Amino acid sequence: DAKTTQPPSMDCAEGRAANLPCNHSTISGNEYVYWYRQIHSQGPQYIIHGLKNNETNEMASLIITEDRKSSTLILPHATLRDTAVYYCIVRARTSGGSNYKLTFGKGTLLTVNP
Amino acid sequence: NAGVTQTPKFRVLKTGQSMTLLCAQDMNHEYMYWYRQDPGMGLRLIHYSVGEGTTAKGEVPDGYNVSRLKKQNFLLGLESAAPSQTSVYFCASNTGQGLDSPLHFGNGTRLTVT
């Protein structure tokens, strides 16, 4: 899987947009960018994913640069419950061809402040 | 629709004891996975299954066995627990239909081996 680089921590004020960056300069053409988050003591929660185009769902928006070497996860109106570790993952088919696993890095701890 | 359910939520074992962790999903997913999460290490794949009756090794399979006798269930076994297996274990599942299929996680089993 392509390596991803995220800042270890970020702060955001409640009600403001949280913009979480991720660099994935070695991404290949058929690799997807996934975002998950993990709130303390819970399992990872799927947020959003994309290949080339920007994506939006009820939780967040994903902006992928045209060269696909970086992306930004946007939480439009952060709440205290959005405090979590956010993982940016580039997902690729492994050499075996059938193993669609995810490789988690260390992520970004987002702290939403009142 | 409960998603992915893991039992038990907590367990304390003594070195050398055995136990089985159960994962059940009600989403009719083909693929299932077992991860462990340790501080500073992210999530590491232990074993996975691409369908009923099949299993395969992940990144850290030693000391664990798995079985997928029914499509909805994926069992993780520790035959002789060691303190190094103290961890939080997460099960996940997805449709397995390519890279465009998010993994959905359970809320984990917290295992302590003394």
- Condensed to tens digits (0 to 9), the pLDDT of residues B11-70 reads 999 999 999 999 999 999 999 999 999 987 778 889 999 999 999 998 899 999 999 999
The answer to whether residue A100 scores a pLDDT higher than 70 is no
Chain B neighbours among A 85-104 (CB < 8 Å)?
91-93, 98-104
Q: Is B103 in Cβ contact with A102 (below 8 Å)?
A: yes
Distance CA B62, CA B47 (A): 10
Please answer whether residues A10 and A21 qualify as being in contact, where contact means their C-beta atoms are separated by less than 8 angstroms: no
- Output the six-digit token pair for B45: 């794949």
Distance from CA of B53 to the nearest CA of A (A): 15
HSE at residue B2, side-chain half, CA atoms within 13 A, is 10
Distance CA A41, CA B67 (A): 26
Which of B81, B69, B89 has the alpha carbon at shortest distance from B4? B89
- Condensed to tens digits (0 to 9), the pLDDT of residues A3-54 reads 899 999 999 999 999 999 999 998 888 888 999 999 987 999 999 999 998 9
pLDDT number for residue A1: 57
Distance CA B85, CA B71 (A): 26
- Condensed to tens digits (0 to 9), the pLDDT of residues A47-59 reads 999 999 899 999 9
The answer to whether residue B97 scores a pLDDT higher than 70 is no
Which of A64, A56, A59 has the alpha carbon at shortest distance from A77? A59
Interface residue A45 vs chain B (CB under 8 A): yes
Distance from CA of A15 to the nearest CA of B (A): 27
Rounded to the nearest integer, the mean pLDDT of chain A is 90
Q: Which residues of B touch A100 (CB under 8 A)?
A: 31, 94, 96, 98-99, 101
Instruction: Name the residue among A101, A105, A106 with its Cβ closest to that of B58.
Output: A101
**How far apart, in Å, are the Cα atoms of B78 and each of B26, B52, B98?**
24, 21, 30
Task: Please give the distance of CA A81 from its chain centroid, rounded to a whole number.
Answer: 17
Burial of B86 (0-12, 13-18, 19+ CB in 10 A): middle
Interface residue B108 vs chain A (CB under 8 A): yes
Which residues lie below 8 Å from residue A64, measured CB to CB, with a gap of 6+? A33, A50, A51, A52, A53, A54, A70, A71
The answer to whether residue A95 scores a pLDDT higher than 70 is no
